[in-house]
Structure 1
């Protein structure tokens, strides 16, 4: 099975909330192809109560066995990268995972504590993923199985002589 890795940077936005229980909300905002020359946790933009942070590097992994899923993503009209963020308890959220497989991205959402969002796929990632798809995709033809014919076993009622229960005399 062929595997290809690609490093990307993850940007998230921290929004001030008007909520008595939660002060801030963290949401994935963008994927950067390659890695910028800034430290993870660096504020890269401010817009009033909103701050954009570079959260750090993440590794996208392409597997040759998942190319049909990548095709679904690329042809969806809105190719995306799914980003999962996790609060480590210190108020700063970290990258828990990134994927271009829409079904794996959906599975990320099964973890209640993570914040999972699709973000637009950058052009450079789209080019790499398309090249990987073209090189490794093998179309699988759909094969509909025929059901086996069911052979009905004879059934016996309670009074039938061939039906014996433990403890019966006979």
Structure 2
């Protein structure tokens, strides 16, 4: 599903940051756009920065369920500093909090949590109902083989004396 990303620019609060940028909304079914100004309120400006494809995968339904069970279901927008004409590159929009956490852990990207519109919540819930399969928990059983009775590999084979098999060889001893 095409998903438009709305980013708000407000004046910075320090002299080192002229502006702060924050993803504030998503537009399901949006047409292509590149930093199109949507709204201006004093010094605050909102842009339709990009339109990305929101992809859902059958293997990630558990993650989507986790995201929808939050108090406020969210889309996670991943952005990074741009080296082009625009201040930020919008890299990814995902409904998976697990994938968003992976990007947040790198520290190179800015990950913003944006509230999910109700229509998008219903679309993702329908996808989950169609594809989700609960994984059956299988308890691991221990192998009954006793491995503590063997003394293979104990000590150093270069030491001739049996009395202290844990002693490291010295330079004086002969190596076989």
1:54-101 deviations in Å (ceiling 9; x for gaps): 102011110001111111111122211000122213452221111001
TM-score normalised over the length of structure 2: 0.81
Partner of 2:60: 66
Matched, 1:144 2:151: no
Tell which deviates more after alignment, 106-115 or 52-61.
Answer: 106-115
- Provide the C-alpha distance between the structure 2 equivalents of 1:54 and 1:151, rounded to a whole number of angstroms: 64
Asked whether the 8 Å contact 1:73–1:100 carries over to 2, the reply is yes
Matched, 1:103 2:109: no
Matched, 1:77 2:90: no
Asked whether the 8 Å contact 1:68–1:137 carries over to 2, the reply is yes
Report how many residues are paired. Answer: 163
- Provide the C-alpha distance between the structure 2 equivalents of 1:156 and 1:35, rounded to a whole number of angstroms: 69
Tell which deviates more after alignment, 40-49 or 106-115.
Answer: 106-115
SS in structure 1 opposite 2:174? Answer: coil
Asked whether the 8 Å contact 2:35–2:47 carries over to 1, the reply is yes
Partner of 1:126: 121
Tell which deviates more after alignment, 98-107 or 144-153.
Answer: 144-153
- Per chain length, whose mean CA-contact separation is higher, i.e. which structure has more relative contact order (CA < 8 Å, sep 6+)? 1
Asked whether the 8 Å contact 1:73–1:101 carries over to 2, the reply is yes
Gaps of 5+ in 2: none
Asked whether the 8 Å contact 2:33–2:51 carries over to 1, the reply is no
Asked whether the 8 Å contact 1:13–1:27 carries over to 2, the reply is yes
Match of residue 135, structure 1, among 126, 130, 133:
130
RMSD: 2.6
Partner of 1:167: 174
TM-score normalised over the length of structure 1: 0.83
